Structure 1
Amino acid sequence: MVRLTPDGEATVLSSVVHSQIDDHAAFGGVVPEIAARSHVEMIDGVVRRAMVGAGIGYDGLDGVAATAGPGLVGGVMVGLGFGKAVALARGLPLIAVNHLEGHAVSARLGARVAYPFLLLLVSGGHCQLLEVRGIGDMSRLGTTIDDAAGEAFDKIAKAMGLGYPGGPALEKTAEGGDGSRFDLPRALLGRKDCDFSFSGLKTAASRLAQTCETDQDRADLADAVQSAIARQLSERSDRAMADYAEKHDHRLFVVAGGVAANRTVRRVLEATADARGFAFLAPPMAYCTDNAAMIALAGAERLQLGLVSDIDAPARPRWPLDEARALADPVHPTGRKGAKA
């Protein structure tokens, strides 16, 4: 739960997260059916704990925000359905929130952040650069044409036998590693846009993982992977900063999403921002990965602007932040390959 003042200052009253890591660890990744079932079983208790933590009841709410996508639609349907039920029962406005918009505003949970800013949203399912002018007003500057950075972390970690969740396990394994031993591919070197690609890196590293025999081998490969991902994120972000600086005097670079919790990625991106004369900001660690507070804040900002949703708002497995750009310039045109994004 979040309280938002008229001048935009956010205070987190409570943010309860029920982790499903143990439920999925045996499978090496998220199983959609298990995730949706766990949502059904736990949502009552999670909401109750959030209420107790905030010290308020349903009568103290101004509105109900719920994630409506993008994501595994089973879990999204559970949360959105619960939110609709509360809104109907209490006569409260419903705000259907784009999960990515929650990440976009998450840095505002820990600091006073003014719009506009340049955002790198980097997580397990998404990797994109955005110009954020305000809530509901964002332009895509670049995106991944295949895999997200977090997906590359997780799947390479799985190939190395590091367990789940893979990103934190790979980061820990990389400590004490020497990544210079391995020569990993660099993607899209001939292109001058801000798009990303991690599929080649993922394939090459997964093959190299089969040759690792010792803990030192695995540490060296983990360090190489971490450095390669950070380097690509830095290169594309640097291009975006150069373009952004031509249009804006307010130079703030925000990094959000689960991969923003990686210390090496943060360090490299902070150095890149400093070299371009940008201030650097990332959310507190607790708000990098998926959390309730960022959705509450996005909902509160929308409510403040009168941007409420109809009660029949659908759950959406795909929901681009910049829908106009996604329609005009799709990364994956429909056809035999399907629409991945």
Structure 2
Amino acid sequence: MMNETQMLISLGGYVDVVKYRYVYFVLWFIVYVLILCCNLTIIYIIWIHRNLHEPMYIFIAALSLNSLLFSTAIYPKMFVDVLSHRQSVSHSACLLQSFFFYTLGGSDFLLLSALAFDRYVAICKPLQYATTMGTTSVTIFLVLAWFLPACQIGVGTAVRGEQKLCHFILKGIFCNNSVQKLYCVKQRFLTVWGLFVLANISLIPVLFILFTYIKIFMVAYRSCGEVRKKAAETCLPHLMVLISFSCLCGFDVIIARLESDLSKTVRLIMSVQIVVYNPLFNPIIYGVKMKEIWKHIKRLLLCGTHHPISQKRSESSH
């Protein structure tokens, strides 16, 4: 007899997939390629230019890496689904996809918190910046940003893996919190643990970010024009990313809680925004709004014949 982890779950979130399967595939493929190109460009530029080897840019590169991993956990499976006669996933693969979905989402919030703290120290306590945001501090922030969400999400994933399925149709195009509605019994532990994890990796980081930016803008308002300009140039892109990401996380909660009250088309549109908007537009926001990154992108586009190795050496000599 097939065990629980091998049982197939049907993905019922597509609209007219038989009729539009090639439209879906082309759109997914274009978006995935754009996500790869945009995020790899940000990572590449930060990696080769020594003047970008600072905490803020390292955290931005980590966010782009997160977007790459997030998209790779979602899009290849969607390619297979739209070209298949049956859109389905095994219970174990569904849990694995959900694990990466929420782990990387939690990492984004913690990385944005690290960015907020970096900007707070740089603008509010500039004399302490070199000692506070050293290599060791940056490494600790990066490790915690990936380790804490993975551990906390992993606990819930392991418990779900032991539960019995009574329903086998998921009203979505990928595995998220909606999978909870497939189990025979709703465990109180998972509900409490889910709220604990939600607070730890999203609500508390958001409150921390808002607190730090309020302090930053208070200091900038009382300071000279140069400080205000620095705050606007470096903080506004992070706030734009935070606001958009928080809205998309809200979509995920709405889909999971109100899926029976939403039409299939509305659920599909909201699901698509979750997996398209953030991974694609974050690197664009950072690429256009961050002055130093944009400068190197323009140089990369306009001076394609300039060898990056020689440029790296020239920067090292300065």
Q: Answer yes or no: same fold by TM over 0.5.
A: no
Rg larger in structure: 2
TM-score between the two structures when normalised by the length of structure 2: 0.32
Normalized per residue, which structure has more strand? 1
Q: Which structure ranks higher in relative contact order (CA pairs < 8 Å, sequence separation ≥ 6)?
A: 2
Normalized per residue, which structure has more helix? 2
TM-score between the two structures when normalised by the length of structure 1: 0.30
